[in-house]
Structure 1
C-alpha cells in the first residue's frame, strides 16, 4: 500500500449507532471493491462528533478502479443513500497521505 485516504467525519452524536452501522457495512463493501480497509474509528473520549475512516490503495489508479467498482456495487450505493436520508454525517473531509513504508504494520519486537 502506498497511499492512504483519511476520511474525517463530523457526525451527529445522537446518531452514533447509525454511523457505526454505516461503518460496519463499509467493512464488507470496501474490500470487495478493491480498497484495503484499515478501519473506521468512532469517538470514544473527548470530542463526541468526530469519526475517522482509513482506506489504503497501491496508487491513484487503484483508487480510480475502486471508485468505479463502488459505483456499480448495490450495497455501496444503498449505504451512501442511507447516510443521505438519515443525515448522520454532517461533514466529510478527505486527505491523501503517502505511506512511510518502514513504519506500516510493525509488530512489537520482544526483547529479553
Structure 2
C-alpha cells in the first residue's frame, strides 16, 4: 500500500523566496534518495504563511530507508543547514495519508 507524507510548513511570509529556493533544492534530492515527490506548494492567495509538500512511498519501511539515505546525502544536509541558518521555517507537521481507491 502506498503512503503519502503531507508536510505542512508554517513559514515566515517575508522569506517566501528563501523557502521557494529550499523547496526547489528538494526537487532533485528527494527522488535521488528514493521518495516519490508529488510536489511542493507555496502560498498563493489567502493564508500567506502555510506551504505544503507531499511525498509518497511504497510503505513505511521504504520511508525509513529513504530517511537513512537522506541523512547521508550531502545536498540534503546542506539544504537542511540552509533552512536552519535562515530560519524561514517556523514549524512543520507531518500527516500520513493513504489514497482512496475504487
**TM-score w.r.t. structure 2 length?**
0.97
C-alpha RMSD of matched pairs (Å): 0.9
Corresponding residue of 1:70 = 70
**Could you tell me how far 1:99 is from its partner in structure 2?**
1.6
Structure whose alpha-carbon radius of gyration is higher: 1
Corresponding residue of 1:31 = 31
**TM-score w.r.t. structure 1 length?**
0.88
Trace 1:1-112 onto structure 2 (pairs within 5 A): 2-102=2-102
Which sections of structure 2, spanning at least 5 residues, go unmatched? none
**Could you tell me how far 1:53 is from its partner in structure 2?**
0.4
Which sections of structure 1, spanning at least 5 residues, go unmatched? 103-112
The number of residue pairs the alignment matches comes to 102
Show structure 1 runs of 4+ deviating over 2 A: none
